[in-house]
Structure 1
């Protein structure tokens, strides 16, 4: 009996032993198999795996960021990825908490793979949630791409596990969070958390509120599906789910959850594109600047990298001189005035009032030539020609009606949908007056605002630097500067307003040159240079250039940064040469900067994505005029705003500031601070200019049609004081309201030892007795 029992016990023990043995064999085999799978995956058996170097430096496309002088992002350059990285320290904690609570509650407890989550996913076949950790999701975004199907999905998952464990060894938990939030595509060109915060909420990532962070974290599930612009209610429901997860894991209280879930969606959509946003014209100019810089500065590339910088991929940071606040003021000023001016232009150029609208005094043949030229220069013509279309086919396409979106001042969006032929659209856009404006700090050359046109999306020609138009009377200060510099005239010296002719041999024409004043009249009276410049008296300007000679004028102009070839003939005195706003502002800045020319600068520094400085600007300066001459010119041009063509900047004239008695103007600007300036109007009112200066800001404004034949019929609206000066005034009003901008409202600094007499009080009193004080001020502007 005992022997039989012993045999049974031995038999049972042997059976259990075999079970244990096979258990450990199977377990070891499983471990070995898993290890082998991981090892094969790491060797690339299931597809290419990232190298150690790539894990250390994962390659993502980064947009080049354009930064204003006050630290705001003006825009970005990118192709597909509008991405700018944000450090973990700049992520709000509510965003990190929302991410962990929703996507990976045990994130801080695992090393890349969540065993519990993986087991749950296997047991329930993914019905109770997947097993992807934040690290695995990052691995997928960086190295494995879109979700695979079938058997490849399993091999992809294995690769993600391997990469995730490697990422955990190479990076801290904080770095992995920031990398993940920086790489995710939130849709609508919102690549990465910074772009998403700016595009969906109009703020920086660090300023996101808890409910806003919950929206963005909710989008991580599927940004295309949970798109707050298209599916607001669905996104709100997803946001509330995230807030519920945050409460579940103790990141917010249940009371906070309930109050936040009750909030409405507060999406502040700010699309970022190359044709929208702030400083669009400047950004397009800057693009050309960067391409030139890249051509001259090869990239110190590592093996296998590009040897050229790429502004769309390399994440450069470009620090500019533009002040975002002043830029906004400038764009608003241009829009406010041009909308009103355009309404008046439309009123005067109806078919009933002008059968050749918007052109004046053109024959049908001349209008046809303008239209033909515009058609051949159009994007439609260029694209169709490149596609191999015949000229006949191209011309036919211009006569077929098509749906299009055109510019419209009266629409809130500045656009309207319509149906018209491309040829009609050319005529339509010819009716719009154009504008350009640039503002610069004269002491440094830093350009603070740049407005190249009305709307970059519809008017892509940049009139700040591409456009060059006749300067008109804004050229006259250069004549006066040469006379004061070469002949030692003072603002108080007098010349007669009488007909003055320059001999034919001096002018290079068969006939003598005898310029007239704009009204065709000559008073015969003596006027100080200050009064003559203030009221653009052509006869006095002609006498000055005859006495000083055209050559010294051209020499000074060249030193002032005006690069265009200028003929050395007396007629340039009336502003016949063409210049752009960019160069004119730089030239006028010399007067304010005590005779020192500083070339306008827009970029101060360029850095790579790691903060290494690649470029720093070096100021380009030169002495052009003495301090005395420069101050005398400022004093001369102060007369323009005190008693001349720019007096509408003041609400009243005071007797002690001008040769005129006190007169109420009715204009709303009411500036009381010292302002130097010059208006300019060209023949037939085709161009209106105003150059305005205070001690630390010089601003130039031009307004005119794309074609010189599109202009106002009379000088009432067609003069510089009506077309351009109001933009300067509106811009400066906005600047002065913001005291943080530091725009000066004080006096221009006077040299310690001023050798040129600028106190014309006694002479003004003598002339005052001879002048008819009933002159109409509207007749004074040219």
Structure 2
């Protein structure tokens, strides 16, 4: 009887086992057949497309930033350090080189613990190949069957992977797709994020740290939890020793190394060159739209892993940002202290009311037909807000109105440096802080350029035969046909009406009265024509005040014109993208090679202007470049300050680099309270000076910082060999009519021809004769 009972139970057990195996086989087949979702074929696996971050590179292929939906960069197996691969295998799949995609020992553990015992915390026991499948295709929900369905899917696809790809390929695919801490995908992005280096440069400790985070990306985040991350790193090192990837001595040596990260986050508002990155983003999107339309392609900036090569130099960029921050922090204090309690952002009711009406909340409440009093009550509700501060972003307590006034008080700036021979932009600072002030002051903003326009006037004069040693009186004149407009100067020039300056002295001292007189002699139309030759396309007012810089130009437009002074009279158009490659290295866009543009003016004029603008640095309005900052570089330049101290400018010219800085308030109605603070020599010049000082200390830039201007010809030097100023003699002062009022002559050519008969005119005729011969 006992035997019969045993036989029955054995029979039932066998039947149950066979039924279980049959059901398991049917289940496996149902997954294989795609009843739980279609599986990728081998052909699909051969053509894996993953969203990949596009990278922005400087002129030396250093990483400037990234554009992405998922922060992922692809790296080849050859660039993976051996200790990184060893750490991965030792920690995640010790039998990786022995199985064909599925480790059946681990599979049994998963079956009994995860399926039968419903222990989801027991660990999946998945191979690297199976994890790769999960990284690429994710997991779907199927209720109670989610775990077994997903596991079977991963096993089937993993075996297909192993039949197509080598073990090395699978390692590379895995490390390029696996998620690390902070939603970073792929080892290259993680390496750049936490250690600011390429994957190929990781040391053993760093490799073990990153591999250690895979177990729990947030919990082992090396930035947030360094101690916990270091302990996990040591576990990885222990596993590497266990599986004989390193010896005990090296493990102990590495254990003793403290974990140090060098964090570098690439996002929209942070990191190096944010204004430049945004400029490139907009430019590349336009380029790709054009390429896709004309070539029937579908390149996507955020998913296709493009490599965007630019002209920027990351070291110059850092120097520029450091210089800007160092100076603007100091200048902001001067600016606020000079106004004190009478600051316009506190006392100018008309200005404040105008800004209030621009607020989105004001417009919303106005549409709701609330009274002005009710709106103001809403704007005066006290709360906390995060505002920009030069110390750090602070949390303030105040109303929306307080927040508006806080933002309104800040000075802003722009800085750009480029190579005059090519127009390649090397540094680009669009403002003081991209997170809070996104308006780009380099390429978008247009401001009055002040005295930085004067070199264009003087260039026109030289081109039209006016000698550099022509003397002009500094005395003020009221132009009766220009609404009694009286250009004025500062300092001694106002009282000494018998003083006369040469063109060099007038330019270096930025004398307004003489600039207008020179403009009158050559003619407004001639000056505008010269500006057009120098690449300026913006509207230029046909008025005498053009000589004083009432034209509104962008910084890129102005600096482009100034390239001619360091490029033998030829203009170089500013540019910033050299080429764009797809993820496979194919060039899909390359900047056009710009043919040599026609001369904007002669080389003689160029050398003359450089010598005259050297005086601005050596003895004129930009003297502090030498006296305060101790710069010994070969430099020419021009300062600029607009009416009521609204804008401060400085243009620095060296043989191989042209630099431009601007400082002002975004609201045109707010200027500096006095010229001492607001003049370009104080507000804008220091950014260029501090930038150059850093470059001078970097031997990498010796070819730029130690470059010398070409020595002018003997004829040019002779043409400049005169006293820069002289006073009228006694008899001239006695008998000369002191004309304080007259009409501005905008049409007569007679006055213009008088200035063309001197030595410089002779030189031009002589040059013309030599060319004809």
Q: TM-score range by the shorter chain?
A: 0.7 to 0.9
TM-score, normalised by the number of residues in structure 2:
0.85
Give 1:600-679 correspondences, 5 Å limit: 600-620=574-594, 622-623=597-598, 624-651=600-627, 667=628, 669-679=629-639
1:600 is paired with a residue whose SS is coil
> Partner residue of 2:379?
398
> Could you tell me how far apart the structure 2 residues matched to 1:65 and 1:286 are?
11
Alignment size in residue pairs:
709
Aligned counterpart in structure 2 of residue 456 of structure 1, from 422, 434, 458: 434
User: Does the aligned pair in 1 maintain the 2:72–2:177 contact within 8 Å?
Assistant: yes
Aligned counterpart in structure 1 of residue 425 of structure 2, from 436, 447, 454: 447
> Partner residue of 2:165?
171
1:46 is paired with a residue whose SS is coil
> Partner residue of 2:283?
289
Aligned counterpart in structure 1 of residue 104 of structure 2, from 96, 108, 115: 115
2:658 is paired with a residue whose SS is strand
> Partner residue of 2:60?
70
Superposition deviation, residue 708 in structure 1: 3.1
Give 1:495-506 correspondences, 5 Å limit: 495-500=472-477, 504=481
Sort the Cα spacing of 1:268 and 1:147 in 2 relative to 1 into closer, same or farther, 3 A: farther
Superposition deviation, residue 503 in structure 1: 6.4
User: Does the aligned pair in 2 maintain the 1:628–1:755 contact within 8 Å?
Assistant: no
Instruction: Please tell me whether residue 558 in structure 1 is matched to residue 558 in structure 2.
Output: no
Sort the Cα spacing of 1:148 and 1:489 in 2 relative to 1 into closer, same or farther, 3 A: farther
TM-score, normalised by the number of residues in structure 1:
0.84
Instruction: State the Cα deviation string for residues 390-435 of structure 1 (Å, max 9, x = none).
Output: 66687654322222211111x2xx2111222122111011111111
Superposition deviation, residue 28 in structure 1: 11
> Partner residue of 1:367?
351
Instruction: Please tell me whether residue 317 in structure 1 is matched to residue 307 in structure 2.
Output: yes
Aligned counterpart in structure 2 of residue 102 of structure 1, from 76, 82, 91: 91
1:474 is paired with a residue whose SS is helix
Instruction: State the Cα deviation string for residues 652-691 of structure 1 (Å, max 9, x = none).
Output: xxxxxxxxxxxxxxx1x11223211000011111111000
Instruction: Please tell me whether residue 272 in structure 1 is matched to residue 266 in structure 2.
Output: yes
Aligned counterpart in structure 1 of residue 388 of structure 2, from 378, 382, 407: 407
RMSD (CA atoms): 3.1
Sort the Cα spacing of 1:227 and 1:164 in 2 relative to 1 into closer, same or farther, 3 A: same
User: Does the aligned pair in 2 maintain the 1:199–1:271 contact within 8 Å?
Assistant: yes
5+ residue gaps, structure 2, are 1-9, 731-773
Superposition deviation, residue 286 in structure 1: 1.3
Superposition deviation, residue 749 in structure 1: 2.3
> Partner residue of 2:411?
433
User: Does the aligned pair in 2 maintain the 1:530–1:639 contact within 8 Å?
Assistant: yes
Aligned counterpart in structure 2 of residue 230 of structure 1, from 224, 244, 248: 224
Instruction: State the Cα deviation string for residues 352-406 of structure 1 (Å, max 9, x = none).
Output: xx2x4447xx853x22343235425xxx668x689x9766687654322222211
2:704 is paired with a residue whose SS is coil
Sort the Cα spacing of 1:363 and 1:197 in 2 relative to 1 into closer, same or farther, 3 A: closer
> Could you tell me how far apart the structure 2 residues matched to 1:84 and 1:635 are?
50
Aligned counterpart in structure 2 of residue 686 of structure 1, from 646, 649, 653: 646
User: Does the aligned pair in 1 maintain the 2:501–2:726 contact within 8 Å?
Assistant: no
> Could you tell me how far apart the structure 2 residues matched to 1:555 and 1:96 are?
65
User: Does the aligned pair in 2 maintain the 1:490–1:758 contact within 8 Å?
Assistant: no
Sort the Cα spacing of 1:298 and 1:390 in 2 relative to 1 into closer, same or farther, 3 A: farther
> Could you tell me how far apart the structure 1 residues matched to 2:251 and 2:707 are?
55
> Partner residue of 1:516?
488
Superposition deviation, residue 248 in structure 1: 0.3
> Partner residue of 1:749?
710
Aligned counterpart in structure 1 of residue 655 of structure 2, from 695, 699, 714: 695
> Could you tell me how far apart the structure 2 residues matched to 1:74 and 1:681 are?
34
User: Does the aligned pair in 2 maintain the 1:350–1:357 contact within 8 Å?
Assistant: no
User: Does the aligned pair in 2 maintain the 1:632–1:758 contact within 8 Å?
Assistant: no
5+ residue gaps, structure 1, are 1-18, 652-666, 771-782
Instruction: State the Cα deviation string for residues 205-264 of structure 1 (Å, max 9, x = none).
Output: 222121221121111122133323333333232222111100101111112222323333
> Could you tell me how far apart the structure 2 residues matched to 1:374 and 1:158 are?
59
Aligned counterpart in structure 1 of residue 457 of structure 2, from 473, 479, 486: 479
> Could you tell me how far apart the structure 2 residues matched to 1:758 and 1:501 are?
35
1:700 is paired with a residue whose SS is strand
Sort the Cα spacing of 1:363 and 1:221 in 2 relative to 1 into closer, same or farther, 3 A: closer
> Could you tell me how far apart the structure 2 residues matched to 1:685 and 1:129 are?
69
Sort the Cα spacing of 1:636 and 1:300 in 2 relative to 1 into closer, same or farther, 3 A: closer
Instruction: Please tell me whether residue 257 in structure 1 is matched to residue 251 in structure 2.
Output: yes
Q: Which moved more, 1:240-249 or 1:85-94?
A: 85-94
More helix, by proportion: 2
> Could you tell me how far apart the structure 2 residues matched to 1:215 and 1:389 are?
56
> Partner residue of 1:12?
none
> Could you tell me how far apart the structure 1 residues matched to 2:305 and 2:41 are?
23
Superposition deviation, residue 63 in structure 1: 1.5
2:648 is paired with a residue whose SS is strand
2:412 is paired with a residue whose SS is strand
Sort the Cα spacing of 1:769 and 1:184 in 2 relative to 1 into closer, same or farther, 3 A: farther
User: Does the aligned pair in 1 maintain the 2:656–2:707 contact within 8 Å?
Assistant: no
Q: Which moved more, 1:610-619 or 1:34-43?
A: 34-43
> Partner residue of 1:575?
549
Superposition deviation, residue 464 in structure 1: 0.9
Superposition deviation, residue 562 in structure 1: 2.1
> Partner residue of 2:82?
93
Give 1:765-776 correspondences, 5 Å limit: none
